[in-house]
Amino acid sequence: MEYYSEHISRLIAELGRLPGIGTKSAQRLAFFLINQPKEQVEKLTEAVLEARNNVKYCKTCFTLTDRDECPICSSAKRDHKVIMVVENPRDLAAYEKTGQYHGVYHVLHGAISPMLGIGPADIKLKELMVRLEGDVDEVIIATNSGVEGEATAMYISRLIKPTGIRVTRIANGVPVGGDLEYIDEVTLLRALEGRREL
Ligand code: ZN
């Protein structure tokens, strides 16, 4: 049934594909957008396109960046022998905001979840193992503390153990099910300092 013009229906359908956007929100956004000045909408579409076309994965840590290698991986000031494994670039940003972590990162882009059908091959785990063939002293596993994050941590630690590289897990100061990005800096630092051997 077409309540609106075909163009608006299409816009609502596309917006509705975004994560966390239901039909009602999609409608609200669509009507908001068509009531905006044309230039404002152009700015938005341009920003979306430019981000999509220019942002890529860092070839080393797989965070999002404009370059082949992100500023953290290419910095001589960072300790490249300590790798913190996080689920996504937002978690990396949370730790960067503390300004107290001087190692580098590895972004998995997800966590292992049998429920959602996400296996070890679906996240950047192979890529982590390749990195560990280099000179690495410690891997700090900072996946989220929910069921999936814990399962992923266990899986990774079992993979790494045989290599003899030290594997640690950030402390439980992080509430269960809490996404790293929503946790304040003090708690993050406490979790990092209180990390335990796996
Ligand atoms: Zn990087």
46-82 pLDDT tens trace:
999 999 999 999 999 999 999 999 999 999 999 999 9
Which residues have beta carbons under 5 A from ligand 1 (an ion)? 58, 60-61, 70, 73
Distance 114 CA to ligand 1 centre (A): 28
Distance 96 CA to ligand 1 centre (A): 13
Three-class secondary structure assignment of 149-196: HHHHHHHHHHHHHHHCCEEEECCCCCCCCCCHHHCCHHHHHHHHHCCE
Distance 43 CA to ligand 1 centre (A): 29
Distance 74 CA to ligand 1 centre (A): 7
**pLDDT tens column, 11-50:** 999 999 998 899 999 999 999 999 999 999 999 999 999 9
Answer positive or negative: Cα dihedral of 187, 192, 193, 197. positive
Distance 198 CA to ligand 1 centre (A): 25
- pTM equals 0.79
Domains and CATH numbers, the chain: 6-54 (1.10.8.420), 64-197 (3.40.1360.10)
